[in-house]
Amino acid sequence: MERLKETTALDFSNTEIAFADKSDRELKKMRWLFNMMSKQALVNFTSKLGMFAVKYSLPFAKTAVKNTIFEQFCGGESLLKSQPTIDKLYQSNILTILDYGAEGKSGEKELEIVAGEFIRGIEFAASNESVPIISIKLTAIGENHILIKKQTSEPLSDREKHLYEQMVDRLDRICRKAYELGVGVFIDAEESWMQVTIDELADQMMAKYNKERVVVYNTFQLYRHDKLAFLKESHEKAKSQGYMLGAKLVRGAYMEKERERAQEMGYESPIQPDKQSTDQDYNEGLRYCLDHYETIASCAATHNERSCFLQAELIGERKMPNNHPHLNFCQLLGMSDNITYNLAAAGYNVAKYVVYGKVNEVLPYLVRRAEENTSVTGDVGRELALVQKEINRREQ
Ligand SMILES: Cc1cc2nc3c(=O)[nH]c(=O)nc-3n(C[C@H](O)[C@H](O)[C@H](O)COP(=O)(O)OP(=O)(O)OC[C@H]3O[C@@H](n4cnc5c(N)ncnc54)[C@H](O)[C@@H]3O)c2cc1C
């Protein structure tokens, strides 16, 4: 760690850089918000109340959510309304990965509308040099039960086959548009009981569109004990079939759900035994991608300071340019600005996932951010401490 500071001047505790584009008023509002979110009981209560109030259009509910948690974690209610956020990030050399946050859609009509929104996102990205990539979820363009059933050996009915083919067609149209317009597509990873289907489709798209450059990226969840091996297998497959691997590395977002389901249904949990094993495989995954950077374009999608330091350190050790196009970093908008802004200031390729959508559409995402930031995970303590440190520094 110390040696790294000397070689790259990277210091994630530098709050002056981290919050340079925030006014005193904005900082105080962040302090208030993270303070509120640190109270577990309050978050549980207001999450439920907020979901209810926004869903049933209760007066003031939308405005209250919009002026607080939405403002912190989302770019805007539409692509155009997200432009000021995107431009502000870019002034600090931070790129944007667009993430249309609508969840829980189903039925052919709704899924088709979401696919159309993803394609609009690609067109928007193509005309914005600050937006190189959009991110998509397969559960947003296909029926969950089809993704799940496809993974089991049960045969699909004719109707199910039709629904599956429609989803593949939507995915193909999205990836083809990205290929034609020079934009990238991150395919998010989801629960293990549908991830095999997602991995197969991601491989198909990479084989089709990643021959000349990396357009499509699959996501590897290293909190699963089998995913480091899978990353290497995916790389071997890509090499043998003559395409480049796109690899977004995450730890994984569904740990409790995964463990509970495995226990309930009596199968071995796919999750690592402890955090240390997850961290070890995650960092090993970063190393592997870096060692094979000629045939893998990777993104360290993480708020973990050690992992970000490690990737920066490895880039320095191998004397590669900090902004090598195959070595990227990414954090969520509204979180870990100390990592994002300091990486950008040191010349690394770093982006924010900028979630956008109508307040009622992105509410489940906001509830997850609020829950993730409670005192239980410890993240809020870190965010709050950094904001407080900067307020103190400015007041000196
Ligand atoms: C840009 C971006 C994109 C993302 N995209 C996806 C995605 O497509 N799919 C997805 O699933 N997630 C995604 N995530 C979320 C990610 O998987 C993590 O949940 C989140 O980032 C926290 O992990 P971390 O690496 O930032 O930090 P850390 O705080 O260091 O790690 C926390 C994570 O470690 C793991 N962990 C914690 N305790 C244990 C334990 N006892 N045993 C084993 N493992 C443990 C869990 O995965 C937990 O989320 C994304 C995150 C970012 C920043």
Domain ranges in the chain are 2-10+64-368
pTM over 0.85: yes
Question: Is the minimum distance from the CB of 269 to ligand 1 under 6 angstroms?
Answer: no
The total of other beta-carbon atoms located within 10 Å of residue 18's CB is 24
At residue 364, the pLDDT reads: 84
Question: Is the minimum distance from the CB of 302 to ligand 1 under 6 angstroms?
Answer: yes
At residue 11, the pLDDT reads: 94
At residue 53, the pLDDT reads: 61
Residue 377 alpha carbon, nearest atom of ligand 1: 29
Strands 349-356 and 95-100: parallel
Q: Which residue lies with its CA nearest to atom 44 of ligand 1?
A: 275
At residue 379, the pLDDT reads: 62
CATH of domain 2-10+64-368: 3.20.20.220
Q: How far is the CA of 367 from the centre of ligand 1 (A)?
A: 16
The total of other beta-carbon atoms located within 10 Å of residue 20's CB is 14
Per DSSP, 293 falls in state T
Q: Residue 67: exposed, middle, or buried by beta-carbon count in 10 A (0-12, 13-18, 19+)?
A: exposed
Tell which residue, 343, 130, 327, has the closest CA to residue 246: 327
Report the interhelical angle of 227-241 vs 192-209 (nearest 10°). 20
At residue 186, the pLDDT reads: 98
Q: Which residue lies with its CA nearest to atom 21 of ligand 1?
A: 302
Contact 73, 67 (CB under 8 A): no
Q: Which residue has the tokens 């609508």?
A: 102
Residues 6+ apart with CB under 8 A from 186: 97, 133, 134, 135, 136, 217, 219, 246, 248, 299
> Which residues of the chain fall short of a pLDDT of 50?
1-8, 375-376
Q: Residue 289: exposed, middle, or buried by beta-carbon count in 10 A (0-12, 13-18, 19+)?
A: buried
Question: Is the minimum distance from the CB of 330 to ligand 1 under 6 angstroms?
Answer: yes
Residues 6+ apart with CB under 8 A from 394: 24, 27
Residue 352 alpha carbon, nearest atom of ligand 1: 1
To test the pocket of ligand 1, the residue of 248, 251, 379 to mutate (highest count of ligand atoms within 8 Å of its CB) is 251
Question: Is the minimum distance from the CB of 189 to ligand 1 under 6 angstroms?
Answer: yes
At residue 3, the pLDDT reads: 38
Question: Is the minimum distance from the CB of 253 to ligand 1 under 6 angstroms?
Answer: yes
Residue 142 in tokens: 């296909």
- CA 348-189-122 angle, to 5 degrees, is 65
